[in-house]
Chain A
Amino acid sequence: MDISHLFEDLELDTPVRRVLLSKATDDELMAITEAMAIGLSVDEMQRVKDHFKEENRDPFDIELEALGQAWSEHCCYKSSKYFMKKSFIGVEAPQNLVLGEDAGVVEFDDEHVYCVGLESHNHPSAIGPYGGSATGVGGIVRDVLCMGSQPIAVIDPLFFGPLDTPIGDVPDGTNHPKFIYSGVVAGIRDYGNRIGIPTVAGMVNFHPGYTGNPLVNVGCVGIGRKEHVIHSRVGGPGEIYILAGGRTGRDGIHGVTFASADLSADSEEKDRGSVQLGDPITKEPLIHSCLEMNEKGLLRGMKDLGGGGLSCVSGEMALDGGAGAVIHLDRIPLKEKGLAPWEIWVSESQERMMVSVLPKDVDAVLHIFKKWDVEAVVIGDVVEGKRVKALWKGETILDLDLEFFTAGPEYCRIYESRKVDRSVPDTPFEQLDRTELEGTLLSLLASPNICSKEPVFRTYDHEVRGRTVVKPAVGLPFTPGPSDAAVIKPLEDSNKGLAISADVNPYFCEIDPYRGTLSAMEESMRNIVAIGAYPHSVTDCLNFGNPEKPDRLGDFEQACEAIGDFAKHFTIPVVSGNVSLYNESDIGKVPPTPTIMMIGLMDDVHNATTSDLKKEGNIIYLLGRTSEEMGGSAFYRHMEAECSCVPNVDLDLSQKISEAIFEMNLEGQLSAVHDLSEGGLAIAISEMCIGGHIGVDINIRRIGSFSEDEGIPLRNDVKLFSESNSRYLIEVPVQLALKVEDCLSRHEAPYEKLGTVRDEGLRITDGEDVLMDIPVEVLDHQWRNGLTSIMEGSE
């Protein structure tokens, strides 16, 4: 369709066009949004047309670009907001939430706050894994920084297709998972390490559903003094806008519109320019300078330029502060000549920060930026009224009503929540004999989702800043085991600790989004509780498929419900979060992936307990209830058996057990604690043996025979590999056994004494039958080299 008659060039020394919406038919409206690649629907374009009719004029191209960006799914959550409000936004909790803007700000102690955010950088990482993941780190660090807090930890949950996917199974135009995995890890390594913030936790998960669309979620935690918390809004009219940091370029144009559509075979080619480029050595001094001027009280407002660029930031900061703004686009420092004004306005170039300052403080602010060699320029003024204007050499080329501009549409699209039939009988198979059980355990230990992630986290500096008291690896320094959570001691003069954990099991979520999400919440909490902390807040990153398809949105709705039910029961607030939709490619949608990041607090880091076994003779107990809920389990996947019954969470039981663990940790009664997750009891006890380089002798006969399950004995493979929630293994010195049993009984927490730590291999019996007896060196070898052998062995 020829729509050239609908564009009128302005007589300026830079390309600006007037778009004659008033003369356009509905078909032509659609053709305009496609030609300009602004991603608005015909209804939305109609709304824009009506608005400008009221203003008695036609819009400039830069105004349509601004609206396309502000009203994208990524910026205004138009499909997801309804469900989140309904389920978990504003859960009542005693935690003192200071504010929730770019990141959640929560009370840490009387004088300090911690600040937390989690974001996705999925589509950019699919196209440019190295740059995509690096800018993901950069973006979330800026979100935390712009609340006035010092970033102290980076967390990175990552999801890829299997590393051994045959080349032929990778869709056209898509990179191989091995390439994406290597690039993403290297991007986080090179960016995170260079800015000097430790990468302390995360997860790496492999599932065929991520082959066409990997997920890169990145979280950041910061710490600051209460009086230094700064808003992402201006103080009021009369202030001056200063833009600092990186220059503006063509990288990241239409980044948010790109994030708000499915990936396709030509994404690689077409969307390359949507991927931003990061520069850690601009970022590092930007962190120092922003914190320094904030501490000196020179700033009235601060906001980072992420998805949405200058356009969203200058408008939102002003509106939230009850004002308007005038921006001089010709003053913006550019990476290259020849950018059209609309490109400058919507570019998502990295490493940029906007600050609003009083006129008297402008020189002091510019001096601090200069000291750190950070480029900074005065680009505009905060003014009375609720409009944002952009000028080019004095000529107005954008003049938007801020309320219209920022009030993106909100939809309750049609959704269909799936009905999971949990009574479908399992695929039947014979009980395994001892050789088969031992072989299964060793295969699972080396499998990609269970094996050690050391090849990943060793390349991240997880100790810079010198405050990581529990690291990703625990136990013997040179043959460590896995840690349930990381613990940071953020303050010099206090032993108070902050525990961080991130989790989700996509294999549960794809079968049953509600139970899967509930399990993700509980697993994150188990990690926090196991390490000795109490859960304090939640941040989520909800990665789902195309919300315009009712079944995808139904999964999303179920996940939101589960988060809400859990958060309400435990009164743990959801303090910030991110939604990433349209995670689909030519081979379909990703599994529903609600990544949960939980923050726990502990009054004294010296109460932390790690998962590695400590001492021969100590007693091993299993806490919680084991049931036959094998859906999505690592064992059933290994056996190629199917089951629709995913582990449920008994919220009351979960609470009783976690409170008991917390109390025993506080009393210093536990030598080791480890939660049971993927691979169940057999994997958890193996990991404890590996970390301590010591064995155990345990008998699993009585598992499943306590409480209401009495009478129907569980199969021994179920006892070994069930992934029922709310379970932990604890190691207790003999002399404290009575106290521990008393505490567990008092909390009505079910427990079973399994056996003792011994100076030989892992021996598991069921009554008289020996199920396994494996030297610790063999367990260690399988687990530690799993990822390396997959990387080296694949095509």
Chain B
Amino acid sequence: MKAEQVKVCILRMEGTNCEQETYDAFKRLGASPEFVHLKQLEGRDTNEGENRSLEDFHILMFPGGFSAGDYIRAGAIFAARLKASIKDDMVKFIEDGKAVGGFCNGFQIMVELGILPAFDSTMIEHPDAVLHANDSGTFECRPTLLKHVNKGKCVWTTKLDEGELRLIPSAHAEGKFMLPHGSQEKEDALYQRLFDEDRIVFRYADTEGDTDAAYPFNPNGSRFNIAGLTNDKGNVFGMMPHPERVFFRNTHPDWLRNRIGPSEGDGRSVFESVIEYVMENF
């Protein structure tokens, strides 16, 4: 398949607001992204020709933002509406090996939907993890350094080497990844599974690459500095930081310190990886 045949559904509803830069990232690499409002998948209040079906796409993208204002819990309303309308389509989409990704609010929606971490099935009924309020208690927009720790499972980061550091910014109020399962033993065991099953993709690190680094390197207090995860198949991927904001070097916070550098930003490879995955497999 050619890049232009890779169809990307940039899903939005009220409060989604990182859709333009997410769209731009796919477009710049030659893929064919389309903005799709949730109602176009639900078939509600739409005219003829406006309805869309998930099966027409290869990549489903949940952009960042504040879907429905994040008023109940970040991502909860968007997830509830999706489950009520196109749950089966989504399960099939994932089981067909197509790619699903979410950044920031997108990641929160995916956790609420039960497709991440989704320990024992494609989409579980009740979320098995939570992205809790940051330890600082407030929204924070700051640079974060991510260590790519995935050993090859995640199709969204195949262009990154294991151990590589990437400067990709964070901007959220609820990003502390937790696995609240009642007892410390159960939780520890689940974290162990994430490590054993190569499900952890990015961890916050300091400039030395230390993944135990505390605030501000770990902006929210996530245990094990977890910043991004994939599902068991490796095709569903969510992360709190925003790779779409650093597609080019000129949106890095320190790019003017070294004028003769690459023009590619640290987030670009995420998009390149998933487009290549679709081109090779569909």
Measured CB to CB, the residues of A under 8 A from B are 189-190, 193-196, 280-281, 284-285, 367, 370-373, 457-471, 473-478, 480, 489, 492, 605-606, 608-610, 612, 614, 668, 692
B15 at interface, CB cutoff 8 A:
yes
> Does A463 lie within 8 Å of B256, measured CB to CB?
no
Residues of A within 8 A of B169 (CB): 463
> Does A281 lie within 8 Å of B69, measured CB to CB?
yes
> Does B216 lie within 8 Å of A478, measured CB to CB?
yes
A606 to B255, CA, bound (A): 10
B47 at interface, CB cutoff 8 A:
yes
A-B interface, 9 closest residue pairs, ranked by CB to CB distance from nearest: A196-B17, A466-B21, A281-B69, A477-B143, A466-B245, A285-B14, A194-B66, A477-B253, A461-B171
Min distance, Cβ A771 to any Cβ of chain B, angstroms: 29
Residues of A within 8 A of B207 (CB): 478
**B66 (CB) vs chain A CBs: closest residue:** A194
> Does A281 lie within 8 Å of B15, measured CB to CB?
yes
Residues of B within 8 A of A610 (CB): 256-257
Min distance, Cβ B251 to any Cβ of chain A, angstroms: 6
> Does A471 lie within 8 Å of B17, measured CB to CB?
no
Given contact pairs A281-B66, A466-B24, A480 touches B253 in the complex (Cβ within 8 A): yes
Min distance, Cβ A730 to any Cβ of chain B, angstroms: 14
> Does B39 lie within 8 Å of A371, measured CB to CB?
yes
> Does B14 lie within 8 Å of A612, measured CB to CB?
no
Number of A-B contacts (CB under 8 A): 119
Residue from the list B21, B68, B251 in contact with A281, Cβ < 8 A: B68
**A455 (CB) vs chain B CBs: closest residue:** B138
B45 at interface, CB cutoff 8 A:
yes
Residue from the list A194, A458, A466 in contact with B142, Cβ < 8 A: A458
**B64 (CB) vs chain A CBs: closest residue:** A464
> Does B253 lie within 8 Å of A371, measured CB to CB?
no
**A458 (CB) vs chain B CBs: closest residue:** B140
Residues of B within 8 A of A605 (CB): 250
Min distance, Cβ B170 to any Cβ of chain A, angstroms: 10
Residue from the list B143, B250, B251 in contact with A478, Cβ < 8 A: B143
> Does A609 lie within 8 Å of B256, measured CB to CB?
yes
* Interfacial residues of chain B within 200-255, with CB under 8 A of chain A in the complex: 206-207, 216-217, 242, 244-247, 250-251, 253-255
**A480 (CB) vs chain B CBs: closest residue:** B253
Given contact pairs A281-B68, A284-B17, A371-B46, A471 touches B253 in the complex (Cβ within 8 A): yes
> Does A478 lie within 8 Å of B242, measured CB to CB?
no
Measured CB to CB, the residues of B under 8 A from A are 14-15, 17-18, 20-21, 24, 37, 39, 45-47, 50, 64-66, 68-71, 138-143, 145, 167, 169, 171, 206-207, 216-217, 242, 244-247, 250-251, 253-257, 259
> Does A668 lie within 8 Å of B14, measured CB to CB?
no
> Does B141 lie within 8 Å of A460, measured CB to CB?
yes
A281 to B68, CA, bound (A): 6
> Does B15 lie within 8 Å of A477, measured CB to CB?
no
Min distance, Cβ B46 to any Cβ of chain A, angstroms: 7
A168 to B94, CA, bound (A): 63
Given contact pairs A284-B14, A463-B171, A492-B24, A189 touches B256 in the complex (Cβ within 8 A): no
A–B pairs, 25, beta carbons within 8 Å: A189-B138, A193-B139, A194-B69, A196-B65, A281-B71, A285-B14, A371-B37, A371-B46, A372-B37, A373-B45, A458-B141, A459-B141, A461-B141, A465-B20, A466-B244, A467-B21, A470-B256, A476-B254, A477-B167, A478-B206, A478-B207, A492-B24, A605-B250, A609-B256, A610-B257
Min distance, Cβ B282 to any Cβ of chain A, angstroms: 27
Given contact pairs A462-B141, A608-B256, A370 touches B171 in the complex (Cβ within 8 A): no
Min distance, Cβ B65 to any Cβ of chain A, angstroms: 6
Residue from the list B65, B139, B254, B259 in contact with A606, Cβ < 8 A: B259
> Does A280 lie within 8 Å of B69, measured CB to CB?
yes
The winner among B47, B142, B244 for most chain A CB atoms within 10 A is: B142
> Does A189 lie within 8 Å of B139, measured CB to CB?
yes
> Does B68 lie within 8 Å of A464, measured CB to CB?
no
Given contact pairs A367-B47, A466-B245, A609-B256, A489 touches B217 in the complex (Cβ within 8 A): no
**B206 (CB) vs chain A CBs: closest residue:** A478
Residue from the list B65, B139, B247, B256 in contact with A459, Cβ < 8 A: B139
A189 to B254, CA, bound (A): 24
Given contact pairs A478-B207, A612-B257, A469 touches B250 in the complex (Cβ within 8 A): yes
A284-B17, A458-B141, A460-B141 are known contacts; what are 15 more A-B pairs with Cβ within 8 Å? Answer: A193-B66, A194-B15, A281-B69, A284-B66, A371-B39, A371-B50, A463-B251, A464-B17, A464-B171, A465-B21, A466-B18, A466-B20, A466-B242, A467-B21, A473-B253
Given contact pairs A284-B17, A477-B167, A459 touches B69 in the complex (Cβ within 8 A): no
Residues of A within 8 A of B15 (CB): 194, 280-281, 284
Min distance, Cβ A666 to any Cβ of chain B, angstroms: 14
Residues of B within 8 A of A195 (CB): 17
**B50 (CB) vs chain A CBs: closest residue:** A371
Min distance, Cβ A256 to any Cβ of chain B, angstroms: 28
Residues of A within 8 A of B242 (CB): 463, 466
A478 to B15, CA, bound (A): 30
> Does B45 lie within 8 Å of A474, measured CB to CB?
no
> Does B45 lie within 8 Å of A371, measured CB to CB?
yes
A371 to B43, CA, bound (A): 11
Residues of B within 8 A of A460 (CB): 141
Min distance, Cβ A787 to any Cβ of chain B, angstroms: 14
The winner among A190, A281, A459, A461 for most chain B CB atoms within 10 A is: A461
